[in-house]
Amino acid sequence: MASRARSLLLGAGLAALLLVVFLVTVWLLLAVLEDGALPGGPRVAVVEIEGIILDGDQAVRELRDHAENPAVKAIVVRVNSPGGVVGPTQEIYNAIQRVRKAGKPVVASFGAVAASGGYYVGAATNRIFANPGTLTGSIGVVMQMANVEGLLKKVGVEYVVVKAGAYKDVGNFARTMTPEERRILQALLDDVHGQFIAAVAQGRGLEESAVRAVADGRIYSGAQAKTLKLVDELGGFEDAVEAAGRLGGIPGRPKLIRPRKHFSLTDLLKSELGVGVPSALLPSLPTLRTPLYLMY
């Protein structure tokens, strides 16, 4: 009886161990399949640029990983962005250029809007697809700040600044900007605007003079942008995927590696409660925290 009990116990333990091994194997298999590392044909990876560009780390990391993944033969960058902060936008642009130099084609797919920094990112790719009604262009730079000097005087508030460096408080919202400060800031914006124009000219294979002629900050429809050679083709996401597959040498309809979703607290509340979050509870944009953010 005791021997039979030991045998049953040993068998149950072995079965439990095999079950654990099986579950771990399945979990690892699914994780690897999601990353597209197992054999199963060449893939087209998708990188999404959504909303205001405040941080380029995730996009840069995804682009690097796809560049190093032998299963990925081409990348589609799906852009739905009105622009963003200059530095992160330039980081994403440079990351796309590195992927192209590594020998993998990158195709941009513009959604509802791909303007300013959103267009800047797309200009780094091999080809750009936009819908006829996509809002794009807006090749320019902006810096916005408030002057509440009159309001402070009305409520009896004196704003005191102690500084070392004549221009350390350029953009101070509590006083009127001096002509020399305006000249300094304008020179800064002109320099960054020139960087934008040069990046578009390089990415699109255009003369800088041709880009400068359309780089006055105005937005264009996708159809207008095609006429101006700012985009290559009119089409949606599926068209961009097919083009990326062809450029990557993938026969037929390519399989996709889609980005993993990262849900924020706001997304969770919306999905679980079916309601939005009041804007007063959301983090303010950097332009509201400091006057010296340059925005594409």
**CB of 114 closer than 8 Å to CB of 134:** yes
Model confidence at 207: pLDDT above 50: yes
On whether residue 194 sits in a domain, the answer given is yes
What is the predicted pLDDT for the residue at 122?
97
Residue that is written with structure tokens 């730079």 in the block: 141
Q: What is the DSSP letter of 280?
A: G
Pairwise pLDDT comparison (8 vs 290), residue with the higher score: 8
Model confidence at 34: pLDDT above 80: no
Query: What value does the mean pLDDT take over residues 2-12?
Result: 58
Catalytic residue among 7, 168, 229, 264: 168
109 is an active site residue: no
CATH number at residue 221: 3.90.226.10
Residues 6+ apart with CB under 8 A from 250: 41, 42, 43, 44, 73, 74
Question: CA 84 to CA 294: how far, in whole Å?
Answer: 8
| N-to-C CA span, the chain | 79
Q: Are strands 219-221 and 135-137 parallel, antiparallel or unpaired?
A: antiparallel
CA proximity to 45, closest of 76, 71, 70, 80? 76
Using 50, 70 and 90 to split pLDDT, how confident is the model at 158? confident
Average pLDDT, the chain: 83
On whether residue 106 sits in a domain, the answer given is yes
Catalytic residue among 81, 104, 109, 116: 116
What is the predicted pLDDT for the residue at 285?
41
On whether residue 22 sits in a domain, the answer given is no
pLDDT tens-place string over residues 59-89: 999 999 999 999 999 999 999 999 999 999 9
Query: What value does the mean pLDDT take over residues 230-240?
Result: 97
H or E element that contains 233: strand 233-234
On whether residue 1 sits in a domain, the answer given is no
On whether residue 4 sits in a domain, the answer given is no
116 is an active site residue: yes
On whether residue 156 sits in a domain, the answer given is yes
Going from the C-alpha of 78 to that of each of 70, 106, 115, 165, 230, the distances in angstroms are: 21, 11, 13, 44, 16
pTM: 0.77
What is the predicted pLDDT for the residue at 289?
37
Q: How many domains does the chain have?
A: 1
Model confidence at 20: pLDDT above 60: no
Write the burial class of residue 195 (CB in 10 Å: 0-12 exposed, 13-18 middle, 19+ buried).
middle
Query: What value does the mean pLDDT take over residues 287-294?
Result: 51
On whether residue 230 sits in a domain, the answer given is yes
pLDDT tens-place string over residues 95-152: 999 999 999 999 999 999 999 999 999 999 999 999 999 999 999 998 888 888 888 8
On whether residue 13 sits in a domain, the answer given is no
Query: What value does the mean pLDDT take over residues 4-24?
Result: 58
DSSP 3-state percent helix, strand, coil across the chain (nearest 5): 45, 15, 35
Joined tokens for residue 78: 């799906």
Question: CA 256 to CA 274: how far, in whole Å?
Answer: 30
Range of the domain at 270: 40-289
What is the predicted pLDDT for the residue at 7?
59
What is the predicted pLDDT for the residue at 10?
59
